[in-house]
Amino acid sequence: MSSTLEIEDLNGASEFEHVYRVRCSDSGLDAFIAIHSTVLGPACGGCRVWSYPEPSDGQADVLRLARGMTYKNALADLRFGGGKAVILGPIPEEKRQHIFTRFGNAVEQLGGSYITAEDVGVGVVDMETVSTETNFVSGLRDRGAGCGGDPSPSTARGVLRGIEAAAKEKYARSDLDGLTVAVQGLGNVGRKLAISLLEKGARLFVSDIDKDRAEQFCHGRNATYVKPEFILLSDAQVIAPCALGRAITEEVATTMHAGVIAGAANNQLATNEVGEILMNRGILYAPDYVINAGGIIMAEAEYYNNDNQDGVNNKIDRIIDRTLDILSRSKHDGRPPHLHANELAQAIVERRAQEIAAGA
């Protein structure tokens, strides 16, 4: 291992077990790894590559994402705690393999406290590179049980189930035929979700920062291209944010037309106040980490080699019941759904921490 790899524990947030800055001068790797909690198991969460205005923005993002992974894994009843990694981009293509090799070195040095996988800007090939340096990685391949690899189809399946649950609660619908859905972002998950929605008979409005990709997707399909700056305000029944987080700002929340928000992106609400605005306007928000858990459900089965694809799909399909339960709690007491989801997840972690303390 190169001596140029540096792992600095920032210890910057008391809520977190560890926050690391990882740098390597020979490859150009510059990353953050956040371990929010290992109470339920090793911290697992994907690695994303993104260009942030400042490194501090990347650090703030990794903290939000790692906390969300703790909640996501808790509610999905997985043997994982919450963690996340971000590699500061852009990264030169000619250095990509070297960067992910060094990232794998860093994950190995953490000794299994963090398990990595794919996220935005990262693919199976990158994780295969990581796996040459560490076994603490998922999203690679079928390890024998009959599931594994790219987590995006599983993530899309879960989001589809979340949309079905929200449409049932908001519109009393038993199917999605004729439902209008605005999909923001046609990346790995967004595209697969959009195709599944079309198969269910939905009519789509779609947008992507790559206009050509979005327009090509629409060709020959019941889908209409909308400019990125207008997609969240589309005259649709459901908004499905599938790009980066914090897309639902206070301005969007006060002016949007849709009655449901249910998408794949993490950390969709820009502030807690946004959740209150949505609640007051009668707009249902299906908490992102509740409905986008399909990928991590698959990753757990792959990592522990303890389930096949049918079993994984059955676990993903339970997202419908979890979403309906949270939306029902919200309707009953008039508090935003994301607060209920947070509290349920926190209770699971706290209960397990008490059991550990008692020697259970």
Six token digits for residue 123: 């693919």
Phi-psi region of 223 (alpha: psi -120 to 50; beta: other; left: phi over 0): beta
CA–CA dist 116, 172 (Å, integer): 39
DSSP classification of residue 34: E
Length of the chain: 360
Q: Catalytic residue at 192?
A: no
244 phi, psi to nearest 5 deg: -85, 170
Q: Among residues 72, 84, 170, 192, which one is catalytic?
A: 84
Residues 291, 148: contact at Cβ < 8 Å?
A: no
Bridge partners, residue 44, by sequence? 82, 115
Six token digits for residue 294: 């399909």
**Per-residue b/e over 19-48, b at no fewer than 16 CB within 10 Å?**
bbbbbbeebebbbbbbbbbbbbbbbbbbbb
125 CB-near residues (< 8 Å, 6+ apart): none
CA 115: distance to chain centroid? 15
Six token digits for residue 131: 């796996």
In Å, what is the CA distance from 305 to each residue of 48, 212, 287, 323? Answer: 24, 39, 28, 27
Active site residues: 84
